[in-house]
A and B are shown apart, each in its own frame.
Chain A
Amino acid sequence: MSAPVIAAQGLTKRYGKATVVDGITFDVAKGEIFGLLGPNGAGKTTTILMMLGLTEVSGGEIRVLDHDPVRDPLAVKRRVGYLPDQVGFYDNLTAADNLAYTARLMGIPARERAKRLSDALARVRLADVAEKRVATFSRGMRQRLGLAEIVMKGAEIAILDEPTSGLDPQATIEFLEMIEGLKREGVTVLLSSHLLDQVQRVCDRVALFQGGRIVLMGTVAELARQVLGAGFVVEVEADAATDLVARFAAIPGVNSVARSGTDRYRLTADRDVRPEAARAVVAANGALRRLSVDDPSLGAIYARFFQRQASLEEGARDAA
């Protein structure tokens, strides 16, 4: 892994006595999509604002592209694009005029401006409404216009705060595709969301926020192993004369085998045991009809994690 583009070390934000972000430490590598997950008010947006130097840091350290956003916010903001939660534009101006204003603020040279602007609008498929006033735009179009701004900036890091909340399914899919397009160009993406399946679909790694702390961090598979225990559930549907349960149980790595119905088996294992399971069915002269593995869902991880936390708290209260 190359040097991280974002590195936070014990980052803390306090408002008066309330600690909103409580000593978080994380690294984001170049070119990955990093997800910030967690309920509203967990400190995700505040963390983002600290990365951009838009709010003061109370403690700890953060470096973005090897700059200190507290001391040198302009250097950071020149290379980082930010799409805020529920982004707004000047309603009385056209889409192109809105971008032209930010292009000037970005300091894009006049001769490049028109080209970069129209390229960016084409990228997010808004070229045909460029001369329409933003007041007429739907929420999805506004989000895309916000993304066009990041494309126009040529940002190395794109920070997207709740970019898909409130979008219809079609717009969401399109938007996620555009995010993956950014990744293909080598842009590092930081995505904050509470919509788990979307985060799971696009993110390489996620950090789960709760009460201002990062409680879990890693790839989805890693989190599944941490939270759900054994990571893989393999479902087999097969007919066989002999008893398959014993054969499945003999496969190394399988922790348990459950039989449901006459021909369905559910294997819980530490790793993906599909090849071995298929071999076992064939060896027993059985007919293999279906073989599938459940991807651990972030939703399940999330639910289980908070469940466990709640029961731990209850235990602690009882003990007290």
Chain B
Amino acid sequence: MRREGSPWQGLGPVFVKELSDHISSVRMLVLEILIIVIACAVVYVAIDGIRQTTAEDPFILLKLFTTGGSSPLSLLVILGFLIPLMAIALGFDAVNGEHNGRTMSRILSQPIYRDALLAGKFLAGLATLAIALLCLWLLVVGLGIIFLGVPPGGEEVARSLVFLLITLAYAGTWLALAILLSIVFRSAATAVLVALGLWLFLRLLWPLMVPGFASLISPPDPRYVLFGLPTPATVEWEHMLRSISPNELFNGAAISLLAPDTRAIGTVYMSQLQGAIMGSPLPLSESLAIAWPQAVALIAGVIVLFVAGYVVFQRQEVRA
């Protein structure tokens, strides 16, 4: 049976309301200050390092994202760490907050479908993240211009903007996950704990567990072990299992864009090195081709998680 009327009716008002809620909320303010202060500090240290060590580099602006100067923390690492936190903070009470505030049935009795409510919330969260990331990007580029005194080249800007989009997809994955959890769990505290638990697991434990699982699935070949070499099949599995974590996908895609001399993510084969001049940069299109699988996986993650939330939400009863 088909329903009548547009599922997008009411999307605009929901989007505007949620966006203004996010932007004016104290929660967002704290997170934005946190990110900006940390990012500025990291970039400042990186600039210091670049000034002292780098002689000449056509992609000096991109170095701001990937090197940490004297500290092991680069902006890339910081973003990989903090963005999930920000996305979770935006989404963990998206739906259960409406239930707990008893506003859900009142809002849904207005002439809108649930689609509009959920999509509006998701898009507003994404827009908030996009605004924050864009501010951060401008800040980094601005600091770079002021302290390094080098105007950014066209390719650098293009690469860093694509990186921004990939960061947004990474943030979207965590936002969609947080919203899914806010649908599944009626208590906001449970949703945020589960989200943070998953984040810690994927960030800290999963990388440690991957080698074990990989050698279980594809035991190392004794012929390789004999020479003290890793078995290619096992390494492939390791790479694939590692890619379950959005953080790994984000890092891979980001590195291939920000470090133009990246030739492969994960295992590098002899065929890929044939004729390559080590350390020479690839053109943007080639870097995009390398980042493509990771980027697609991240976007697919966003869609799958959002659709899962959508399905659960459509079937959920309105009354508490």
- A30 interface contact, C-beta 8 A: no
Number of interface residues of B (CB under 8 A): 28
- B54-87 CB mask vs A (1 if < 8 Å, else 0) is 0000000000000000000000000000000000
Minimum CB–CB distance from A214 to chain B (whole Å) comes to 20
Closest to A102 in B: B110
Contact of A90 among B2, B4, B14, B101 (CB under 8 A): B101
Q: How far is the CA of A79 from the CA of B3 in the complex (A)?
A: 17
A45 contacts which chain B residues (CB < 8 A)? 319
Task: Tell me how far the C-beta of A207 lies from the nearest C-beta in chain B, rounded to whole angstroms.
Answer: 20
Which chain B residues (101-128) contact chain A, with CB distance < 8 Å?
101-103, 105-113
Determine the residue in chain B with the shortest Cβ distance to A53. Answer: B3
A54 to B4, CA, bound (A): 14
Q: Which stretch in A69-77, A227-235, A245-253, A312-320 binds the other chain? A: A69-77
Q: Assess A107 versus B9: contact at CB under 8 Å? Given A70-B1, A72-B4, A82-B109.
A: yes
Give Cα distance in the complex from A105 to B104, angstroms.
13
In the complex, the answer to whether B105 meets A82 with C-beta atoms within 8 Å is yes
Among candidates B9, B13, B109, B318, residue contacting A101 with C-beta atoms closer than 8 Å: B13
Is B10's CB within 8 Å of the partner chain A?
A: yes
With A45-B319, A55-B318, A106-B111 as contacts: A146 and B106 at CB distance below 8 Å? yes
Q: Are B3 and A72 in contact (CB-based, < 8 A)? A: yes
Residues of B close to A78: CB separation below 8 A = 111
Does A136 touch B at the CB level, under 8 Å?
A: no
User: Could you say which residues of chain A place their CB within 8 Å of the CB of B14?
Assistant: 105
Chain B residue nearest to A159 (CB atoms) is B109
Within 8 A of B (CB), among A69-100: 70-75, 77-78, 80-84, 86-92
Which residues of B lie under 8 Å from residue A80 when comparing CB positions? Answer: 109
Verify A88–B103 contact, CB threshold 8 A.
yes
Name the CB-closest residue of B to A101: B17
Asked if A224 lies at the interface with its beta carbon under 8 angstroms from chain B, I say no
Instruction: Say yes or no: A74-B112 contact (C-beta < 8 A), given A55-B317, A101-B17.
Output: yes
Interface residues of A in 97-119 (CB under 8 A from B): 101-102, 104-107
Selected from B101, B108, B110, B112, the residue in CB contact (under 8 A) with A91 is B101
Please, how many angstroms separate the alpha-carbon atoms of A126 and B14 in the complex? 25
* Interface hits, A23-59 → B, CB 8 Å: 45, 49, 52, 54-55
Of all chain B residues, the one with the shortest Cβ separation from A87 is B106
> Which residue of chain A lies nearest to B5 when distances are taken between CB atoms in the complex?
A74
Question: Are A73 and B3 neighbours in the complex by a CB distance under 8 Å?
Answer: yes
Is A54 within 8 A of B13, CB to CB?
A: no
Contact with A along B112-155 (1 / 0, CB 8 A): 11000000000000000000000000000000000000000000
CB nearest to B14 among chain A residues: A105
Q: With A45-B319, A146-B106 as known contacts, state yes or no: A107 contacts B101, CB within 8 Å.
A: no
State in angstroms the CA–CA spacing of A109 and B1 once bound together: 31
A54 to nearest B CB, angstroms? 5
Assembled-state Cα–Cα distance A105/B14 (Å): 8
Q: Which B residues between 1 and 42 are near A, CB-CB below 8 angstroms?
A: 1-5, 9-10, 12-14, 16-17, 21
Check: A156 CB closer than 8 A to any chain B CB: no
Please, how many angstroms separate the alpha-carbon atoms of A83 and B102 in the complex?
11
* Candidates A71, A84, A91, A102; contact of B1 at CB < 8 Å: A71
Contacts of A88 in B (CB 8 A): 101-103, 106
- In A167-208, which residues have CB < 8 Å from any B CB? none
A-B contact sample (11 more), CB < 8 A, given A71-B1, A101-B17, A104-B10: A70-B3, A73-B111, A74-B113, A75-B4, A83-B106, A84-B106, A84-B109, A87-B102, A88-B101, A88-B103, A107-B9
A and B contact pairs by CB, cutoff 8 A, 24 listed: A49-B105, A54-B318, A70-B1, A71-B1, A73-B111, A74-B9, A74-B112, A75-B111, A84-B105, A84-B109, A86-B102, A87-B106, A88-B102, A89-B103, A90-B103, A91-B101, A92-B21, A104-B12, A104-B13, A105-B111, A106-B110, A106-B111, A107-B10, A146-B106
The 8 closest A-B pairs by CB, nearest first: A88-B102, A74-B5, A104-B13, A82-B109, A105-B110, A78-B111, A84-B105, A72-B4
